[in-house]
Structure 1
Amino acid sequence: MAKKAAAKKAKGPPAKLAITQVRSGIGRPKPHRLTLRALGFTHHQQTLIHNDNPAIRGMIEQVKHLVSVRPVEE
């Protein structure tokens, strides 16, 4: 168990995700529009860089039909 805990703590800098809004939020349910806003999107075809963490992954899962996600190598 100690090795697993040490391996989790010994990570490098957090991974990044490039998230692009590929479909409009117009006509979508309000929770989807609010999730796009919470991610920081202000217009269509915008690309944002976010840290890869469970909170961001959860938001992406909610609007996965409106966004495109790819990892960013630093």
Structure 2
Amino acid sequence: MTNPFENPNGTYLVLINDERQHSVWPETVEVPAGWTVVKPGGTREDALAYIEENWTDMRPASLVKAMADTAS
């Protein structure tokens, strides 16, 4: 059986969690709890391009908040 996370012909979603972290996710695999679809199915390349364009700050949201609170 082919790994659904590495299927070159697969359809992929982009997920985001509460920490604003992104993930490429196979459309055929159930979205895990705590994650939300932010980009519906497309190619793996489409999903990676979306992430590259939209996930510009790799820090978790809680760290961004903590740093902002400390700076205030």
TM-score > 0.5, shorter chain as reference:
no
Q: Which has the higher contact order (CA 8 A, sep 6+)?
A: 1
